[in-house]
A and B are shown apart, each in its own frame.
Chain A
Amino acid sequence: MIQGKNILQKLIFLVLAMALLTGCRTSGKEQETKVEKTQYQASFLNLFDTVTTILGYAETEEKFEEITDEIYTNLEKYHQMFDIYNEYGTNNIKTINDQAGIAPVVVDGEIIQLLLDCKEYYNVTNGRVNVAMGSVLQLWHETREAGINDPENATIPEESALIEAAKHCNIEDLIIDEKASTVYIRDPEMSLDVGAVAKGWATQRVCENAPEGLLVSVGGNVKATGPKPEDISWVVGIQSPWDANADYVHTLYVNYESVVTSGDYQRYYTVDGEKYHHLIDPETLHPGKHWNAVTVVCEDSGLADALSTALFLLPKEEGEKIAKQNGAVACWIASEEEIFYSEGFKEIIKR
């Protein structure tokens, strides 16, 4: 009897002790979550003809929305400025194209800055990123659109038409007057297409004016504005070019850097069973064939966007030189067995 009472007492004591312990733990956790911020995600599907995603931490969803609303407003502004197909009531790239050979166009200072940067990108990429080759890209755009809508009768542009268009791609005919804030295309047959750099450039701009601790992606142009809470790096997975469901090619740590991937699998159309992607080489006037995908990492997202396009169109040696000169690291993927890394790239790989 005495023994039984003993057991009962001990059991009660144990249960009480355990309840107390768990109790302590939950209350501690609750306190933590009160201070802790929650991760939120916002997506927009109507900008730059691609998916924009913003990840970040905030105390409430409302506070996160305040942040994303401002980013959206700015991205929409750039989307309209850099559009070559539509007008929005103020002068944009389309206005400049429409006035080619006619007159200089007064534009917003940010368009001037973008085009000045584009000239710089042209120089640092040995001409592989040329926003003045709108006439060539237009031919590919037309056949691609027609091919997507009518896959049976898909074609590629006539070689003679491409060669003719390529005569009007001289970036020296893009006259920028910073003082007057005007842009003039001297060659009436020339047109601008900033598609290869606009998303990255816009990403960089919005990130410069955004709070710390966000991860912004505009169509795969990823840039972080600082690590997550408690100084934890963002982890960005680069999807396999061959299988969307397969494991990542690699996962990267990102704090303030920009990660941009150019690939032949993102946007393409098919002609007679052959895939034609959207990254057109100014030299061959055809889609680049060296790689499946190239990933570039550097601080500035506009530069990263330009470099990823250039490196995609170049053999490894020349691309590696350009990356190094611009303080970027890169990874080239030619097939599942052929993955090359520049110096410094492996250090940001998580696994």
Chain B
Amino acid sequence: MERENKIRLSFCKGDAVVISFVIMLAILIGVVFWMKTGTEQGNIVVVYQEGEKIQELSLDKDTEVLIENYYTNKLIVRDKKVAIVESDCPGMDCVHSGAISGKGRSLVCLPNRVEIRIEGEVDSEVDFIVR
């Protein structure tokens, strides 16, 4: 009888506070991790010319860049997408490629020796894309 009483007593108000604190902390950590992995933030647009990295742009920030080499490519970043919208190269394959957005995708202008690649921390499910 006395024993039972003791056990019941040991679960006090303080314990409830500690348990709820731990649960809240767990939820908080869970939410933070979920937000981190849930969105594809932090991917960057990398411009290579003749195999050398010449520029890095944020995929999250709308911008417009001219890439000048043998020809001139006009590159735009808008709504987390990248495209070459104008080019004076023959064939204009780069412009016809349209807009890209996912990590691992790339745009190429062969005549201008330019490659635009989306790189980032977000793991993509494919290693390589064949056109």
Q: Which one of A7, A42, A50, A237 contacts B17 once the chains associate, using CB atoms below 8 Å?
A: A7
Is A340 part of the contact surface with B, judged by Cβ < 8 Å? no
Q: Which one of A10, A148, A238 contacts B18 once the chains associate, using CB atoms below 8 Å?
A: A10
Contacts A236-B127, A237-B128; A148 near B91 (Cβ below 8 A): yes
Which A residues from 1 to 16 make CB contacts under 8 A with B?
A: 3-4, 6-7, 10-11, 14
Is A60 part of the contact surface with B, judged by Cβ < 8 Å? no
Is A51 part of the contact surface with B, judged by Cβ < 8 Å? yes
Is B131 part of the contact surface with A, judged by Cβ < 8 Å? yes
Which A residues from 169 to 188 make CB contacts under 8 A with B?
A: none
Smallest beta-carbon distance B35→chain A, Å: 18
Which B residues from 109 to 131 make CB contacts under 8 A with A?
A: 110, 113-115, 117, 125-131
Q: Which one of A46, A50, A234, A244 contacts B128 once the chains associate, using CB atoms below 8 Å?
A: A234
Is B14 part of the contact surface with A, judged by Cβ < 8 Å? yes
User: B99 contacts A236, CB within 8 Å?
Assistant: no
User: B90 contacts A45, CB within 8 Å?
Assistant: no
Is B21 part of the contact surface with A, judged by Cβ < 8 Å? yes
Chain A hits for B117, CB < 8 A: 41, 43
Chain A hits for B106, CB < 8 A: 43
User: B129 contacts A46, CB within 8 Å?
Assistant: no
User: A236 contacts B130, CB within 8 Å?
Assistant: yes
User: B51 contacts A222, CB within 8 Å?
Assistant: no
Which A residues from 48 to 86 make CB contacts under 8 A with B?
A: 49-51, 53, 55
Interface size class of B (residues with CB under 8 A): 20 to 34
Q: Which one of A3, A45, A239 contacts B51 once the chains associate, using CB atoms below 8 Å?
A: A45
Is A160 part of the contact surface with B, judged by Cβ < 8 Å? no
User: B51 contacts A42, CB within 8 Å?
Assistant: yes
Q: Which one of A149, A215, A228, A245 contacts B98 once the chains associate, using CB atoms below 8 Å?
A: A245
Is B101 part of the contact surface with A, judged by Cβ < 8 Å? yes
Is A326 part of the contact surface with B, judged by Cβ < 8 Å? no
Smallest beta-carbon distance B81→chain A, Å: 8
Interface of A, helix, strand, loop or mixed by DSSP: strand
User: A51 contacts B130, CB within 8 Å?
Assistant: no
Chain A hits for B101, CB < 8 A: 245
Is A220 part of the contact surface with B, judged by Cβ < 8 Å? yes
User: B13 contacts A220, CB within 8 Å?
Assistant: no
Report the Cα distance A144→B82, complex, angstroms: 29
User: A266 contacts B48, CB within 8 Å?
Assistant: no
Contacts A51-B115, A149-B90, A244-B97; A217 near B130 (Cβ below 8 A): yes
Is B100 part of the contact surface with A, judged by Cβ < 8 Å? yes
User: A215 contacts B128, CB within 8 Å?
Assistant: yes
CB 8 Å contact bits of B40-58 with A (1 = contact, 0 = none) = 0000000010110000000
User: A51 contacts B90, CB within 8 Å?
Assistant: no
CB 8 Å contact bits of A26-53 with B (1 = contact, 0 = none) = 0000000000000001111110011101
Smallest beta-carbon distance B6→chain A, Å: 15
Q: Which one of A51, A234, A259 contacts B108 once the chains associate, using CB atoms below 8 Å?
A: A51
Report the Cα distance A338→B114, complex, angstroms: 35
Q: Which one of B14, B15, B97, B129 contacts A248 once the chains associate, using CB atoms below 8 Å?
A: B129
Is A309 part of the contact surface with B, judged by Cβ < 8 Å? no
User: B99 contacts A245, CB within 8 Å?
Assistant: yes
Smallest beta-carbon distance B17→chain A, Å: 6
Report the Cα distance A261→B129, complex, angstroms: 11
User: A14 contacts B22, CB within 8 Å?
Assistant: yes
User: B127 contacts A55, CB within 8 Å?
Assistant: yes
| 9 A-B pairs closest in CB distance | A237-B126, A7-B14, A237-B129, A148-B91, A235-B126, A45-B113, A234-B127, A220-B130, A10-B18
Q: List 26 A-B contacts (CB under 8 A).
A: A3-B12, A3-B13, A7-B17, A10-B14, A43-B115, A44-B51, A45-B51, A45-B115, A46-B50, A49-B110, A51-B108, A51-B115, A55-B127, A55-B128, A148-B91, A222-B130, A234-B128, A235-B127, A235-B128, A236-B127, A236-B130, A237-B130, A238-B130, A245-B98, A245-B101, A251-B125
Starting from the known contacts A43-B106, A148-B91, A248-B126, 20 additional A-B residue pairs (CB-CB under 8 Å) come to: A7-B14, A7-B17, A11-B18, A14-B18, A43-B51, A51-B115, A53-B128, A220-B130, A228-B127, A236-B128, A237-B129, A238-B130, A239-B129, A239-B130, A239-B131, A243-B98, A244-B97, A244-B100, A261-B130, A261-B131
Binding site for A on B (CB under 8 A): 12-15, 17-18, 21-22, 48, 50-51, 90-91, 97-101, 105-106, 108, 110, 113-115, 117, 125-131
